[in-house]
Amino acid sequence: MGFRRARTDTGARRPTPRPEPRGRARRVLTRLAKAYPDWGPTLEFGSPFELLVATILAAQARDERVNQVTRRLFRKYRAPDDYLKVAAEELERDVHETGFYRQKARTIRACSEQLLREFGGEVPGDMQSLVRLHGVGRKTASIVLGNAFEVPAIAVDRHVARVAGRLGFSRRAEPDGIEEDLRALYPPKDWVKATWCLVLHGRRVCQPTPRCFECPVSALCPYPKKTKAPGARATPRPTRRAASARPAR
């Protein structure tokens, strides 16, 4: 990490939310950052290009598995032209363990070819250029920008989308809309931190079946179907006698 000084990629005009949601969003982030002090990229990389390749491989795969593969891969393939020197089948074998290996190998080779042809073999450090690359969408571009270039960016994956919805930070379903809402809630300096805190919270606690009983932001969350700890006894409903009882004089 740490290739260039931070600069802002503000993109389209951001809507201005009311002060209350913004204050709650910041309190949520403070608590999540405290709960997950290990927030930050979970993919291993040593350059923007390695992070781009690792992020392509991480689609539908666990980061731990991707890291196992890239530890070997990055010793063999150091630059975009290395991926084009081997036969497609060889690269497919080298990334096989990450799943969807044919498609991923195709994407890496096409992306490498485009980097050489249009960008002198270097990964560009701006959103507009990144999303022009073969197989690179806003999520991948934001991960590369935020973590390899330190350009403020919010990446919306399924965890961020789920958590942002439950916390009432966004009512939208499509990632671009959720990203826009989160950018409006947080200052740019917090965009990368917010991304990772929401990702880790979605992986560890606010899972598809949420673990609200151990959630560090439960008191700040409006989600109406909060879960109780397994085995926890439901709060007893008052009996008719108890409900109608009058305090003794």
Residue 188 vs 216, nearer CB to ligand SF4: 216
Min dist CB 207 to ligand SF4, Å, is 8
Residue 35 vs 61, nearer CB to ligand SF4: 35
Min dist CB 162 to ligand SF4, Å, is 8
Min dist CB 71 to ligand SF4, Å, is 33
Does position 165 bind ligand SF4 by CB under 6 A?
Answer: no
Which residues contact residue 144 at a Cβ distance below 8 angstroms, ignoring those fewer than 6 apart? 48, 51, 52, 55, 123, 130
**Of 38, 36, 42, 39, nearest to 216 (Cα)?**
36
Does position 204 bind ligand SF4 by CB under 6 A?
Answer: no
Q: Which listed residue (95, 194, 215, 234) binds ligand SF4 by CB under 6 A?
A: 215
Q: How far apart are CA 71 and CA 44, in angstroms?
A: 8
Q: How far apart are CA 186 and CA 179, in angstroms?
A: 11
Name the DSSP class of 1. Answer: -
Residue 156 vs 215, nearer CB to ligand SF4: 215
Q: Which listed residue (115, 143, 199, 221) binds ligand SF4 by CB under 6 A?
A: 221
Count, residues near ligand SF4 per rule CB under 6 A: 13
Q: How far apart are CA 126 and CA 108, in angstroms?
A: 19
Give me the amino acid identity at 56: I
Does position 217 bind ligand SF4 by CB under 6 A?
Answer: yes
Q: Which listed residue (41, 125, 146, 210) binds ligand SF4 by CB under 6 A?
A: 210
| Residue 35, number of CB atoms within 10 A of its CB | 17
Q: Which listed residue (69, 123, 167, 194) binds ligand SF4 by CB under 6 A?
A: 167
Active site residues: 139, 157
Min dist CB 201 to ligand SF4, Å, is 7
Does position 106 bind ligand SF4 by CB under 6 A?
Answer: no
Tokens 């350059």 found at: 47
Min dist CB 224 to ligand SF4, Å, is 9
- Identify whether the C-beta of residue 51 lies closer than 8 Å to the C-beta of residue 144: yes
Instruction: Tell me which stretch binds ligand SF4 (CB under 6 A): 51-59, 89-97, 153-161, 221-229.
Output: 221-229
> What are 202's two structure tokens?
């979605």
CA distances to 111, 165, 210, 211 from 230, rounded to whole Å, are: 47, 24, 12, 10
Give me the amino acid identity at 247: P
136, 139, 140, 141: CA torsion to nearest 10: 80
Residue 109 vs 166, nearer CB to ligand SF4: 166
Instruction: Give me the residues that bind ligand SF4 (CB under 6 A), please.
Output: 166-167, 205-206, 210-212, 215, 217-218, 221, 223, 226
